[in-house]
Amino acid sequence: MNYSIIYVVVLLLICSYVALPVNAMNICTLKGSSVGYLDMTYDLPVEDFLVNVRLRVLNNMWSPDQPIAMEYFIRVKGSNKPLEEFLVILEVNIKISDFTGSAGTYLLAKVSDYRSYEGVINIFVPSQAINLVLKADVADILPILIVVTKNSSYQFRLTPYRLIINTQEIKEIIIGNCSASFNLSSPLELCICITHPVTHNLSENNVRITSFIKYLGNEEFEGILTILANDVIISSKSVTVERFLKTEVSIPLQSLIPFSENGKVKLKAVITTIGMDKITDAALTITLRVNIRKPIVTFGNVPSLAFEGDQLILTIQVYNPNSLPLHVIKAMLIDGGMSVLYKDIPKIIMPNTNVECKVKLRFNRSGIYKFRFILSYSIGEYKDVLNITLPIIKVTKVLSIKLINKLSSNEKQLSIEVIAFRPINDVLIVAERGNKTYQLLYVGSFLIPSSKIVNLSIQSLKPGNYSLYALSLTEDVKSNIINISIQPTLSSKTKNKTNTTKVGKTTEISITLIKSIKVKDAEIYPGSNVSVEIILTTDKDIESDNIRLYKLVNGFSPPWVLQPLTNIRKVGKGIYELTFKAPSSEGSYTYKIQIVKEGKVLDSKEFSIQVEVKNAATTPLLPPEIFYPLIVTSALGSLILFRRYSKKR
């Protein structure tokens, strides 16, 4: 005997003839077949009558490009006593993945006698579930039957139907909503639906809105069908309905843009009487792509390389490719330091129109320049922000000098390469010390971009620190600075013909790399971390191994002792931060920082710190968690002794 067949037959009998209670949630699904009927029959008590209802889903395999078709059969069982008219309405909820929501209310019948009432309703996908339905495997239909009599209404929660979702090869989904009137004098159902593509939001030139009106009154219905977008009328016309009426309204998509809120529009169909008494309405929310395209921003005359002191006229062009005006909320050109350089742009850019703005920029210093253009705009209710980064502009000095000989010279002269990146007249090399400037060499003019190597005599310079740079006598052009230090040293001994020794002086020339040293900590305690900021005269990166810290220790030979660093990091161009442990004893200590390369000391600079012991007067002898309980205990003890002493007296 085939027990599986018996099992299926028994299951169908249970699902067909037993009415489930209101809270029942059993799901009755045909198994073993991808196509078949889902058939349920109920006997439901309503006042003095028994209403027999049969619902049947025509296919348990559902493709969302079609509505869910459900047949219904209704008749009244009981005596032949007169019937008072009542409405049978089906409320449908749908569950897809984590979404559970209304799929509308449907008018099944206006019952006035004992005959049978039958028909088919189409259940649409709610607009809120449009994205979920493409990913889910099943959908559950949750029906609630409502019987509306003259004096009351009755609700019956019925068995859910599980459908298998088939999304293969579908290109669009029908979304919609239906709403039934609960008024016995106006038994009417109104549906609104549209066809929505599955791959993107609406983007066609026109939106076709379809409305269905079902009327079960005794006479034909005359009223007004109104279509609204976010409560603004976009279509309104009078209709005459005998039993069923289908209408279509085609609306240009661009006309919906002014009503969209972040790309979404709520469409609503409302049916009213000629006297404007509303009977019912049905609404759905659709997401529009609305062919809103971002404005096209282009920049003209953006060089990759510029020179210090140059002026640049930057052209900004903004094109509106849409068929509606673009309203500029804010437009700014900002640099890397977030300084607003320009914000003057027309407030309205008409459709298919290009506006051009010119911004004058001047590069007062060398470095890397990063610009961003920010455009905040709106088209109707749609708002967006464009944030565009321009190509990086590298700004260098038009005149540059480079030291090419060794850092020490017995001939008391330096070999310097002077580089001009464009024609420059009357170039001079000078040395600056304090508020005095010394003219060292007239280089001449550069008729074309080129370089010259010159020998610079420093015999006229006294020992000290100098800043070397080149400048033009006729133009506002100045080169980079090379910091040098000139110190006299005894470095040679020679014997003359009389066999006597002559001691001569030579000049040692070195480049100053360390501009300044700053101790960041206001108070330094024994063993605490000390942070020191070093500012260099160059922007070039220096490896951390080439920065060394020494402490002056008397009694050692040599007296400078290498110290370990806790941390070293670069905090900006030519700026480094060093961290080390302070000595364990109070006192004044002297340190020096050396910049080395390939074993040679390029520069060094000293600094001092003062290590102090924390003020003991500010530190409590006992922590608060011990001190305060001790005070309370002492007070209680004193009180007890006082009472005992008082009793003895």
DSSP structure string for 185-237: TS-EEEEEEEEEESSSSB-SSEEEEEEEEEE-SSS-EEEEEEEEETTEEEEEE
Query: Angle at CA 82, nearest 5°, toward 81 and 83?
Result: 115
Q: Give this prediction's pTM.
A: 0.46
Q: Which residues of the chain have pLDDT under 70?
A: 1-37, 79, 198-206, 254, 257, 262-263, 275-276, 286-291, 336-344, 381, 405-412, 488-511, 615-629, 632, 641-649
CATH class of this structure's domain 513-611: mainly beta
Query: Angle at CA 525, nearest 5°, toward 522 and 531?
Result: 50
Residues 439, 440, 442, 448, CA torsion sign: negative
> 211, 249 in Cβ contact below 8 A?
yes
Query: Does residue 423 have a cis bond before it (omega within 30 degrees)?
Result: no
Give the CATH fold of the 296-395 domain. Answer: Immunoglobulin-like (2.60.40)
Enumerate residues 6+ apart whose C-beta is below 8 A from 172.
65, 195, 196, 197, 198
Pairing of strands 436-446, 501-511: unpaired
The string of pLDDT tens digits covering residues 43-100 is 998 888 889 999 998 888 888 888 888 999 999 887 677 788 899 999 999 998 888 9
Measured in residues, the chain has a length of 649
> Coil, helix or strand for 593?
strand
Give the CATH fold of the 397-509 domain. Answer: Immunoglobulin-like (2.60.40)
Quick one: tokens of 490?
């005894």
pLDDT for 146: 94
The Cα-based distances of 375 to 239, 296, 314, 321, 342 in angstroms read 48, 11, 16, 15, 12
The continuous run of DSSP H or E covering 646 comes out as helix 624-648
pLDDT for 340: 65
Tell me, yes or no, if the two domains 296-395 and 513-611 fold the same way: yes
Q: Give the domain ranges of the chain.
A: 14-170, 296-395, 397-509, 513-611
Q: How far apart are CA 441 and CA 417, in angstroms?
A: 13
Q: How far apart are CA 342 and CA 314, in angstroms?
A: 11
CATH annotation of 14-170: 2.60.40.10
The string of pLDDT tens digits covering residues 264-303 is 778 888 888 776 677 777 777 766 655 578 899 888 878 8
The Cα-based distances of 249 to 168, 208, 252, 578 in angstroms read 30, 6, 10, 74
**Which residue in the block uniquely carries the two structure tokens 């993945």?**
97
Query: Angle at CA 213, nearest 5°, toward 158 and 49?
Result: 40
Q: E strands of 434-500, at which residues?
A: 436-446, 450-457, 464-472, 482-495
Q: How far apart are CA 544 and CA 546, in angstroms?
A: 5
pLDDT for 108: 92
pLDDT for 607: 93
Residue 616 φ/ψ region, left for φ over 0, alpha for ψ in the -120 to 50 degree band, beta for the rest: alpha
pLDDT for 52: 92
Task: Tell me, rounded to whole angstroms, the distance of Cα 250 from its chain centroid.
Answer: 37
